[in-house]
Amino acid sequence: MDLKGKTVVVTGSSRGIGFAIAKAFAAKGANIVINDILVPDEAINEIKAMGVGCIGVVADVSDFVQSEEIIKKAKEEFGSVDVLVNNAGITRDCLLLRMKEKDFDDVIRINLKGTFNMTKHASKVMLKQRRGAIINLSSVVGLMGNVGQLNYSASKAGVLGITKSAARELGGRGITCNAIAPGFIKTPMTDVLSDDVKSAMLAQIPLGRQGLPEDVAKVALFFAENDYITGQVVNCDGGMVMQ
């Protein structure tokens, strides 16, 4: 897909990986819809300064009606929805025996149901267009599990199931659906980890460094620009998980 003039919706994109993905697509000439529970003007202005259109939509992707509004506003503003990047997600890390029901429910609601909501609404538009790319952010812990992240691992494994099933359902109309499984990426979410935890994570990475949001953004561009790849998962993890 030639991204110039296309419309790209990125959820959870006011900062971190989501914002890096938004900027990467803007650099290719795409118009951007930034979504988050708070979208600062600075983020919108930075994208607009790249010479493309950009709007911010404040909405909770886990809410079926609010998520539909994101897609409606994107189409109203730019006339199409060509790429959806399901990036919005949270963590509520805790050992299984200490994990509260709400910790589990919140993570599943935002990470998994949010991906379902957005994929459902965007696919309606893409089916009529007979084109589109859906890119879901999973995680290496969705593949291998992790101590203290049962809820997060379950949600991200579920995202892989959505990805593969949607790829089979939507492929006949020219719509691709793929997933990225980031590893230890430098974001506000990982910056709060202790030095001991960071050192332990780095010891598992053959490339010997923490990933950057821009590393993940490159994979997102790859999926959007390749029309003959669907139902696939690419680990962006420095070799942490090898399959």
Active-site positions read: 152
Distance, CA of 62 to chain centre: 14
Q: Which of 87, 59, 72, 60 is nearest to 7 (CA)?
A: 72
70-76: list long-range contacts, CB under 8 Å, 24+ apart: 70/9, 70/11, 70/33, 70/35, 70/118, 70/121, 71/9, 71/118, 71/121, 71/122, 71/124, 71/125, 73/33, 74/7, 74/9, 74/33, 75/7, 75/125
Cα torsion through 100, 182, 220, 154, rounded to 10: -30
Taking CA atoms, 182 is separated from 2, 34, 156, 212, in Å, by: 25, 20, 11, 10
DSSP helix/strand/coil, 54: strand
